[in-house]
């Protein structure tokens, strides 16, 4: 009986071509259709591991960790100066799911700087912000605004310590007028002091102290007054 030989079944050629095109492990620079380029590690055809990406449209560079095609881990992001063409750092720190997440330092174009925690690309957690006018805020943040407890130090030496909400002084707090040697302790709402007590504080060493000291005012129940004010503030939150 004759032996019939059947041809060996092979996958279509495009299967083999696609397999060879898959990116995995360390590769040299790979160019995208839009001109972007990436040099680094791959896994299952996705940027994964250490790598550097250059965006052609902006010239921006990211160098650091990648996870399944997204910036994730520790890395640095820089952009070229439009005049000098020299690269300037924008952010150095931790990333999560292609956004700033964790601890990192952000450098603003106007010279301001934030060093602290991030979540979903926004300042959230504990951080320190250096403003252009020289003032510094250190404390809690939520969705890119001071929120919680924090201290604002002004260039003239004055400072506020207390509660914040949506970027404004809110709740119990203390404002130190070191230039005048006075202290205001009270309750704030949307950046405005609603009630409180103003007393002399280090007046003898203040550079611009008032001519006469503040008169002492005796309150029968000062703690009760502040407690009532705090209760009113809590009611406004609800």
In degrees, rounded to 5, the angle at the alpha carbon of residue 135 between the alpha carbons of residues 129 and 137 is 40
Q: Are residues 70 and 114 in the same domain?
A: no
Domain boundary among 80, 99, 120: 80
**216 by DSSP, 3-state: which?**
coil
pTM, whole model, 2 decimals? 0.76
pLDDT tens digit at each of 238 positions of the chain? 566 655 566 665 544 544 555 666 677 789 999 999 999 999 988 999 999 999 999 999 999 999 999 999 999 999 999 888 899 999 999 999 999 999 999 999 999 999 999 999 999 999 999 999 999 999 999 999 999 999 999 999 999 999 999 999 999 999 999 877 889 999 999 999 999 898 876 655 655 555 445 555 544 445 555 555 556 545 545 5
In a domain, 102, yes or no: no
What range defines the domain where residue 44 resides? Answer: 11-80
Total count of domains within the chain: 2
Is the domain of 70 the same as that of 127? no
Domain limit, last residue, from 31, 65, 80: 80
* Backbone φ and ψ of 71, nearest 5°: -65, 120
In a domain, residue 5? The reply is no
Determine phi and psi for 24, rounding to 5 degrees.
Answer: -155, 135
- CATH label of the domain that carries residue 222: 2.20.110.10
Q: Check residue 8 and report its DSSP letter.
A: P
């Amino acid at each position: 009986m004759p032996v019939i030989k059947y041809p060996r079944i092979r996958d279509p050629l495009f299967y083999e071509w696609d397999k060879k095109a898959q990116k995995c492990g360390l590769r040299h620079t790979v160019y995208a259709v839009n001109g972007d380029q990436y040099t680094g590690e791959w896994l299952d055809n996705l940027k994964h591991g250490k790598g550097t990406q250059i965006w052609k449209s902006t010239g921006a560079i990211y160098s650091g960790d990648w996870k399944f095609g997204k910036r994730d881990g520790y890395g640095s992001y820089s952009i070229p100066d439009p005049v000098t063409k020299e690269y300037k750092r924008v952010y150095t720190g931790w990333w999560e799911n292609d956004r700033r997440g964790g601890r990192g330092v952000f450098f603003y174009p106007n010279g301001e700087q934030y060093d602290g925690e991030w979540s979903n690309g926004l300042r959230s957690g504990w951080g320190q912000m250096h403003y252009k006018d020289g003032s510094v805020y250190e404390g809690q943040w939520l969705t890119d605004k001071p929120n919680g407890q924090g201290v604002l130090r002004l260039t003239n030496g004055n400072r506020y310590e207390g509660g914040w909400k949506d970027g404004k002084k809110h709740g119990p707090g203390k404002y130190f007028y070191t230039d005048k040697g006075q202290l205001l302790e009270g309750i704030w709402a949307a950046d405005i002091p609603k009630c409180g007590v103003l007393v002399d504080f280090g007046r003898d060493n203040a550079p611009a102290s008032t001519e006469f000291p503040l008169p002492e005012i005796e309150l029968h129940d000062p703690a009760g007054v502040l407690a009532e004010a705090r209760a009113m503030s809590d009611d406004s939150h609800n």
